[in-house]
Structure 1
Amino acid sequence: MHLKNIFVTVIVFLVSFSAYAQEETGNNDEPLKIDHAEPLFIDLIRDLGARKGEKEWNLGLGMFDRLNYDKYEALVEYEWAPKDRLGLEIEVPVSIYTSNGLEGNIRRRPSNRVESIKTAFQWTFLVSEKMNTSMAIGGINEFVFTALDSISTNSIFEGDVINPFLISATNWRNGWHTLIYTGPKWFVPFNNELESEFEYEINSNVHYMIPNTRNFIGVEFNKVVDGQNFEMVIRPQMRLSLSDKLLMGIVGGIPVNRDRERLSTFIRLIYEPGHKHE
């Protein structure tokens, strides 16, 4: 619980600088926006420093080796900026589980399910041209569906996930980009048969963007602290620009601790209608 208090204190402290941030970025007709490499697995709600009218569709497909069974995941998400520096998102992920011939009595594979309905916001409160850095706060609210074979009119949702987060990203002006995405996550069950859960996520990223393109290579370090447990998955990745409006991201997953998962792969297609790359 101590991590919760630290996170809230940091957020309050940083938001207090928002007025200073507005002064530093000036009073141009169009607000300053710094180019940052966006991670492909745990992606952002919208570009940092988003400008009003931006929008984007994402389609994600992934395969995860969960030791005794395989998990196939698909997601559709839509994100947009209704005003400068404010991003919104809605996402629906679906999971399908299949046997890999190793299924035992201890770890039976879960039921297929529409995972949840996710809604999220992200507000970029700092865009510093001097430091080439952007910072944002946001939150994800996720209504978790009951498994398809157990769903009924009285139990459509089994719980709610609440996930506030803080983002800090720096463009080092030499092609290298770094980003930290961190925050606590609570699962609040809607019935007494399930237990509430708490964990803390720390996602750190390093990318190299090829000059004069939107293509990059990089790596995510997705870390989770759960009580006394620590898990990390290393996700090497690359993004390719297929056209001015369409990008593709390819991600691998290598868990440091393989007690629950082995290798994984994930592909993300990104479509930006009306996009014009500067």
Structure 2
Amino acid sequence: MNTLLKAGSAALLTCLGALNGFAQTNDEIPNNIADSLYIAEVQDYAQPVKILHAEPLYIDLIRDLGARKGEREWNVGMGLTDKNTHDEYIALVEYEWAPVNRLGLEVELPFSFYYPVNGNTNAPGSKLNSLKMAAQYSFFVSEKLKTSMAIGYIQEFELTDFNQYSSSPLFTGNVYNPFFIAAKRWGQNFHTLLYTGPQVFHHFEDNNTHTVWQINTNVHYMIPGTRNFIGIEFNKEAQKHDFDMTVRPQMRVGVTDNILIGIVTGIPINRENERFSTFLRLIYEPAHN
């Protein structure tokens, strides 16, 4: 466990160096001009209007706000969470695309693998958590206000553990998750975003439901003259008699024109269930017309 956390820290430091290096490669172009060129590349090369916003790396968006027809993106994510009785390794594969202007769609396969620690003999069963499908529509995009807003919906079909495929029903429940997003860019480099909505869990076995409210707020700073950013997510969950928050410092580094890497560290405010976590996201954006 310590080795993995050290490896995550080393990767974080490496990317900090990369951020500095990428910024220095643009020394021949004044940063304010480079920023303007990048913003113009995103916002002005096509219609309809689209505002450049920094997208959070852990609770990511279904598609860019103000998405344009033909945009698409592959994501591969890997993470580790140190919990009290076990370690949780997560992995995900997702594909997102925009079939028409302003509408983003996504299909995701999230996996969880569990291993007992600290002398414990039991851990949750490893599984493909769910088949996750989502849609997001940007209903407000203002170039003057540098603001975008969207509504969306995520539908998850929860699945049973790998070792119970032959003895239990494949689908164990549904998760219904409508959400709202509002984002604003302040000047050329500072970005804020709100992502909020209820998650309604419906378990088939006992036919019970319970609701968890997500309230995610984000602040990012885009490094002058680059696509790289540093920032922080505040992931909050509220339900009856309980409130949890995890602070997630993060950074994104552009490796090539269409490949980016995001690194996230999770710091829970209340450590009743888990301790520190790390998460890595590889983003590939194929070229589109």
TM range (shorter): 0.7 to 0.9
Q: Aligned to 2:102, which of 81, 85, 97? A: 85
**What pairs up with 1:27-38 in 2 under 5 angstroms?**
30-38=47-55
User: Is 1:220 the equivalent of 2:237?
Assistant: no
Deviation, structure 1 residue 174? 3.7
Length-normalised TM-score, structure 1: 0.85
User: Is 1:255 the equivalent of 2:268?
Assistant: yes
**1:181 alignment partner AA:** Y
Distance 1:118 1:29 in 2: 31
Summarize deviations over 1:102-139 as a string: whole Å, max 9, x none.
Answer: 426xxx41001011110000000000112100000000
Calculate the aligned-residue CA RMSD, in Å. 1.6
Distance 1:199 1:143 in 2: 17
**What pairs up with 1:171-210 in 2 under 5 angstroms?**
171-192=185-206, 195-210=208-223
Q: Aligned to 1:40, which of 16, 35, 57? A: 57
Q: Aligned to 2:179, which of 165, 174, 191? A: 165
Task: Give SS of 1:53's match.
Answer: coil
Q: Which residue of 1 aligns with 2:250?
A: 237
User: Is 1:63 the equivalent of 2:63?
Assistant: no
The answer on whether the counterparts of 2:160 and 2:168 sit within 8 Å (CA) in structure 1 is: no
Distance 2:100 2:213 in 1: 30
Deviation, structure 1 residue 228? 1.6
Q: Which residue of 2 aligns with 1:16?
A: none
Length-normalised TM-score, structure 2: 0.82
Task: Give SS of 2:64's match.
Answer: coil
Distance 1:235 1:241, change over 3 A: same
Distance 1:98 1:274 in 2: 40
The answer on whether the counterparts of 1:244 and 1:275 sit within 8 Å (CA) in structure 2 is: no
Distance 1:57 1:32 in 2: 23
User: Is 1:121 the equivalent of 2:135?
Assistant: yes
Deviation, structure 1 residue 154? 5.9
Distance 1:86 1:93 in 2: 22
Distance 2:46 2:55 in 1: 25
Task: Give SS of 1:266's match.
Answer: strand
Task: Give SS of 1:169's match.
Answer: strand
Distance 1:89 1:153, change over 3 A: farther
Distance 1:260 1:138, change over 3 A: same
Distance 1:176 1:275, change over 3 A: farther
The answer on whether the counterparts of 2:88 and 2:114 sit within 8 Å (CA) in structure 1 is: yes
Distance 1:227 1:180 in 2: 22
5+ unaligned residues in a row in structure 1: which ranges? 1-27
Single out whichever of 47-56 and 150-159 deviates more from structure 2: 150-159
Q: What is the identity percentage for the equivalent residue pairs of Structure 1 and Structure 2?
A: 55
Q: Which residue of 2 aligns with 1:76?
A: 93
**1:176 alignment partner AA:** F
Distance 1:170 1:47 in 2: 13
The answer on whether the counterparts of 1:245 and 1:275 sit within 8 Å (CA) in structure 2 is: no
Query: Which structure shows the higher helix fraction?
Result: 2
Deviation, structure 1 residue 207? 0.2
Distance 1:113 1:139 in 2: 23
**1:142 alignment partner AA:** E
Q: Aligned to 2:170, which of 150, 153, 156? A: 156
Q: Which residue of 2 aligns with 1:14?
A: none
Distance 1:153 1:259 in 2: 33
Task: Give SS of 1:263's match.
Answer: strand
The answer on whether the counterparts of 2:70 and 2:288 sit within 8 Å (CA) in structure 1 is: no
Distance 1:29 1:270 in 2: 22
The answer on whether the counterparts of 2:247 and 2:269 sit within 8 Å (CA) in structure 1 is: yes
Query: Runs of 4 or more off by more than 3 Å in structure 1?
Result: none
Q: Which residue of 1 aligns with 2:281?
A: 268
Summarize deviations over 1:55-111 as a string: whole Å, max 9, x none.
Answer: 00000000001111000000000000000000000000111111222426xxx4100
